Amino acid sequence: MESVNIDNSQLTALIRLVEDPDPNVYGHVRTKLIELGREVVPTLENTLEIRKSQLAFDLDHEDRIRKIISDIHFNHVKLDLEQWRASSTRDLLKGAIIVSKFQFPEVDEKKVEKELDQIKQKVWLEISEENTAFEIVKIFNHVIFDLCGFESSKNNFYAAENSYINKVISSKKGNPLSLSILYSVIAQRLHIPIYGVNLPNHFVLGFVDEFQTLKMLGMNDDRNILFYINPFSKGRIFDHNEIENYLRSLNLPLQKNYFEPCSNTDILKRMLTNLTFAYNKEGDTEKVEGIRELQLILES
C-alpha cells in the first residue's frame, strides 16, 4: 500500500468534510483518508482529542472518524498478512503479531520480541549439549511455567484475548494454541526442534526426531516425533499411543497429519478459527466478518 502525499492544510480540509451530511461527499472523503494510510491516523486521533476538549463534538462525527481509523488499520493488517503469506519463511511469531494487530493495532513488536528473548535467555542459561530431549523439555517447562508464571486460561478459555500473542505475554495466560506458539517460537530460536501438532479440538507440540533415532531402534512406521508436549498442561509429556486413544475417543481416523508437525500457515488458520468462535460467542458480527477476510487471504 503506497502512501499518498498530502500537505497539512489539505488533510485538515478533508477531515472537516468527514461530518458532511451528504453521504456521497462522506464516501469520497472516507475513501481518500483510507487511501492515505497510517500516516494520517495521528492527525485523525488528534482531531478527536481537540474536539472533545472544546466540547464541540458530534457523536456521529466521532463515530465516522473512529471507523475510518479502524478501516485504515485493518487495511494494513490485510496487507501485512498478504505479504506474510507470500514470504518464503512465513515466520510464526511475525504471523501471530500481524493477527494481534487486528484487535490491537498499536502492538509494540519490539516489546514482544524483547519479552520472548528474555525467556529464551533464561532457557539458554539452563540447558547444555549433554541434555537429553526429555531434560530439555523439563527445563523449558520450569522456566516458562514456574519461573515466568505462564498458565492456561481455564476460567476464560474462549476469550479472544487468549489468541493474541501480545496479551498472552502481558497476562501470562493463554489457550492451547497461543501457549504452544510461545513455547515453540522460543524453542526454534534455540535450534530445538519443537513444532506444532494440529489435533482436532486441541493443539499440542511435538519434539522432532531429527536424527531418526526411532528408526535406528527398528521402529519403521514413519514416526518422526520422539514425544509430544502439552503446554496447556504445563508442558506434560506424552506419547504416540495417547494421541491414538484420543482420536479413537472422538471416533476419528488415525490420519498421519494428526501425528506430524503442521505448517505455520495452518497454525494461523487455527488461530483465526479460534477468534471466529470467540467473537461469535460475544455476538460481535463485525469482528467475525473481519476475521473471515483474513481467513480468505490465507486460503487463497
- Tell me the C-alpha distance between 235 and 227, whole Å: 12
Q: In this model, does residue 33 exceed pLDDT 50?
A: yes
pTM of the model: 0.89
3 by Cβ neighbours in 10 Å (0-12 / 13-18 / 19+) ranks as exposed
Residue 20 has a pLDDT of 80
- Tell me the C-alpha distance between 176 and 202, whole Å: 7
Residue 171 has a pLDDT of 96
Nearest to 39 by CA among 85, 78, 80, 8: 8
Q: Which H or E run includes 152?
A: strand 151-152
pLDDT band at 54 (very low <50, low <70, confident <90, very high): low
Half-sphere exposure of 152 (CA within 13 A, CB side): 17
- Cβ-proximal residues to 170 (8 Å cutoff; 6+ apart), any chain: none
Tens-digit pLDDT profile for residues 280-292 = 999 999 999 999 9
- Bridge partner list, 174: 152
Tens-digit pLDDT profile for residues 62-78 = 888 888 999 999 999 99
- Tell me the C-alpha distance between 76 and 64, whole Å: 19
Q: Which residue has the cell 491414538?
A: 244
pLDDT band at 1 (very low <50, low <70, confident <90, very high): very low
Grid coordinates standing for 219?
521402529
Q: In this model, does residue 36 exceed pLDDT 80?
A: yes
Could you tell me whether strands 236-238 and 225-230 are parallel, antiparallel, or unpaired per DSSP bridges?
Answer: antiparallel
Grid coordinates standing for 54?
472544546
- Cβ-proximal residues to 111 (8 Å cutoff; 6+ apart), any chain: 166
Tens-digit pLDDT profile for residues 216-272 = 555 555 568 999 999 999 999 999 999 999 999 999 999 999 999 999 999 999 999
- Cβ-proximal residues to 140 (8 Å cutoff; 6+ apart), any chain: 123, 183, 186, 187, 235
Average pLDDT over residues 126-150: 97
What is the C-alpha radius of gyration for the chain, rounded to an integer number of angstroms? 23
Q: Which H or E run includes 227?
A: strand 225-230
pLDDT band at 162 (very low <50, low <70, confident <90, very high): very high
Residue 70 has a pLDDT of 93
pLDDT band at 276 (very low <50, low <70, confident <90, very high): very high
Average pLDDT over residues 125-144: 96
